[in-house]
């Protein structure tokens, strides 16, 4: 069976996911909003702004017309910045094929509503959770586009839909597992960005691997704690969408979130870092939404608190570090 997918968003991950679908034997059309990007994909088989140095398959087509991309799609993969999803999807709803599975590739939480991306999709497209999947894992776009060995999780409450997405995305270099834990997978993907901001800050401040490992470990506990409060399966956080993605993002200089934090740690102001960041660092905006979610559910998230205090409330980073370390003494229990 050959699946047809519309990938909505021609940034680094949308373009990489398009290549992955092609390499898995599927038909795929990429929607982009900028004519020069669409032209570069169609005429020169590249997307130099977002994936420099990567040659795309000649048969991959891009379009500026969402209706053309969406026509007859079995899957609609959503790859726009999280905070723009609602507005974009609202415009696309009349063109969505009635049975298509809507796949969130995004790793963010909506500001103002604190909704996860799959929740926004269900609400805006007026579809049940069985029609919405998420795809996540330790996937840094340039490495996947280069065909480096990797894996991800296709999650949907409808196991059959997750399996179809798995089939549509497996290649000889990319392995895909299924899960029905949409909540856990989405939280893993969104909250690790905030931990990566914090790890980046620590790197920028000159701290070493021990501090980074501590932040990742306690960050994972924080993610798991929020997940437990929202009904996620705790095992998810030991998997690719949890620990896997956390480690990749916190360790790699390719991560936009980690790099954002490094620049802050080295002394740039928030405005200066925003000005030099050309791609989406989801954790910057999602941090406040995640914290709001945590407060609603009475979950303590000290790392997320520290990151938002630095980003939005003028707390000096060293003071934030001291406040994290000098919290009241506790036993260490995973997720607590
Ligand atoms: N890049 C990765 O390695 C990677 C991996 C997995 C998941 N993701 C997630 O994928 C999502 C998309 O990120 P990305 O890496 O492709 O970002 P990106 O910054 O590389 O690209 C964003 C794309 O969205 C477009 N865009 C910006 N504002 C828009 C708007 N208002 N309406 C429509 N389109 C708009 C941009 O033109 C660009 O094509 C994010 O949630 C990210 O966390 C990224
Ligand atoms: O570049 P980042 O920080 O958005 O991370 C990209 C992916 O989410 C890593 O899995």
Supply the CATH number for residue 120's domain. Answer: 3.40.50.720
What pLDDT is attached to residue 336? 57
Q: Is the pLDDT of residue 334 over 70?
A: no
Residue 1's pLDDT is 85
Is residue 289 in some structural domain? yes
Domain shared by 237 and 145, yes or no: no
ipTM reported for the complex surpasses 0.95: yes
- Supply the Cα-derived Rg of the chain in whole angstroms: 19
Mean pLDDT of 16-41: 98
Q: Where a domain ends, among 124, 156, 180?
A: 180
Q: Whose CA is nearest to atom 5 of ligand 2?
A: 255
How confident is the model at residue 335, as a pLDDT? 60
CB neighbour list of residue 275: distance below 8 Å, 6 or more residues apart = none
Residues 54 and 149 in one domain: yes
List, as own/partner pairs, every contact residues 85-89 make where C-beta atoms lie below 8 angstroms and the sequence separation is at least 24, other chains included. Answer: 85/110, 85/117, 85/120, 85/121, 85/124, 86/110, 86/120, 86/124, 88/8, 89/120, 89/121, 89/124, 89/125
Residue having the nearest C-alpha atom to atom 44 of ligand 1 = 13
Q: Angle, to 10 degrees, between the axis of helix 159-169 and the axis of helix 12-23?
A: 80
- Position 128 in a domain: yes
Site of tokens 């026509």? 71
Is 192 marked within a binding site?
yes
Expressed in percent and rounded to 5, the helix, strand and coil fractions of the chain are 55, 10, 35
Same domain, 288 and 146: no
Same-domain pairing of 198 and 176: no
Query: Which structural domain, as residue segments, surrounds residue 104?
Result: 4-180
Q: How far apart are CA 135 and CA 133, in angstroms?
A: 7
Residue 334 placed within a domain: no
Do 149 and 52 share a domain, yes or no?
yes
Ligand 1 is surrounded, with C-beta below 6 A, by 9-14, 32-34, 50, 79-82, 84, 88, 105-108, 139-141, 279-280, 282
Residues 224/237, Cβ–Cβ less than 8 Å: yes
Ligand 1 atom 24, closest CA:
80
pTM over cut 0.95: yes
The set of catalytic residues is 192
Scanning the structure block, which residue is given the tokens 């959770």? 129
Q: CB of 38 within 8 A of CB of 10?
A: yes
Q: What is the CATH number of the domain that holds 280?
A: 1.10.1040.10
Residues 151 and 22 in one domain: yes
The answer as to whether 93 is a domain residue is: yes
Q: In what order do the strands lie in the sheet with 61-63?
A: 61-63, 27-31, 4-8, 75-78, 101-104, 132-136, 150-156, 174-179
Last residue of a domain, one of 180, 202, 229: 180
For the chain, how many structural domains are there in total? Answer: 2
Q: What SS3 class is residue 235?
A: helix
23 and 156 in a single domain? The answer is yes
Interval 223-279: pLDDT, tens: 999 999 999 999 999 999 999 999 999 999 999 999 999 999 999 999 999 999 999
Residue 260 lies in a domain: yes
Q: Where are the beta strands (DSSP E) in the chain?
A: 4-8, 27-31, 61-63, 75-78, 101-104, 132-136, 150-156, 174-179
- Predicted confidence at residue 333, as pLDDT, reads 78
For tokens 């989801």, the residue is 282
Q: Are residues 127 and 174 in the same domain?
A: yes
Q: Quick one: 137 and 202 in the same domain?
A: no
Look-up: residue for tokens 């570069």?
A: 40
Whether residue 154 sits in one domain with residue 19: yes
196 in ligand 2 pocket by Cβ < 6 Å? yes
> What average pLDDT does the structure give for the chain?
97
Question: 230 and 127, same structural domain?
Answer: no
Q: Which of 33, 43, 51, 28 is nearest to 278 (CA)?
A: 51
Domain assignment of residue 275, yes or no: yes
- Cβ pair 66, 91 in contact under 8 A: yes
Q: Does any domain span residue 332?
A: no
The stretch 53-62 carries a mean pLDDT of: 96
**232 and 268 share a domain?**
yes
Is 336 within the bounds of a domain? no
Write down which residue in 180, 207, 227 finishes a domain.
180
The CA 323 to ligand 1 mean position distance, Å, reads 33
């Amino acid at each position: 069976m050959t699946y047809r997918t519309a990938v909505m968003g021609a940034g680094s991950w949308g373009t990489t996911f398009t290549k992955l679908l092609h390499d898995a034997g599927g038909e795929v059309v990429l929607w982009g909003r900028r004519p020069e990007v669409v032209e570069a994909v169609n005429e020169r088989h590249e997307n130099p702004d977002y994936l420099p140095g990567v040659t795309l398959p000649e048969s991959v087509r891009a379009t500026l017309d969402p209706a053309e991309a969406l026509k007859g799609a079995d899957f609609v993969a959503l790859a726009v910045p999280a905070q723009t999803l609602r507005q974009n999807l609202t415009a696309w709803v009349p063109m969505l094929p009635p049975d298509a599975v809507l796949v969130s590739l995004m790793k963010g939480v909506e500001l103002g509503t604190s909704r996860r991306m799959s929740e926004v999709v269900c609400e805006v497209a007026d579809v049940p959770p069985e029609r919405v999947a998420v795809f996540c894992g330790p996937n840094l776009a340039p490495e996947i586009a280069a065909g480096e060995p990797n894996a991800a999780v296709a999650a949907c409450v409808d196991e059959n839909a997750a399996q179809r997405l798995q089939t549509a995305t497996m290649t000889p270099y990319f392995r895909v597992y299924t899960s029905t834990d949409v909540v856990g997978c989405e939280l893993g993907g969104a909250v690790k960005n905030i931990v990566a901001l914090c790890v980046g800050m620590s790197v920028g401040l000159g701290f070493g691997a021990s501090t980074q490992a501590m932040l990742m470990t306690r960050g994972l506990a924080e993610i798991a704690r929020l997940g437990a409060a929202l009904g996620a399966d705790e095992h998810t956080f030991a998997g690719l969408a949890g620990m896997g993605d956390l480690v990749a993002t916190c360790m790699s200089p390719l991560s936009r979130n980690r790099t954002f934090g490094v620049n802050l740690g080295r002394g740039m102001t928030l405005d200066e870092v925003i000005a030099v960041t050309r791609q989406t660092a989801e954790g910057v905006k999602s941090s406040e939404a995640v914290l709001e979610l945590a407060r609603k559910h009475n979950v303590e998230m000290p790392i997320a608190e520290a990151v938002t205090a630095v980003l939005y409330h003028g707390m000096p980073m060293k003071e934030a570090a001291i406040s994290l370390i000098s919290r009241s003494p506790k036993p260490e229990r995973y997720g607590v």
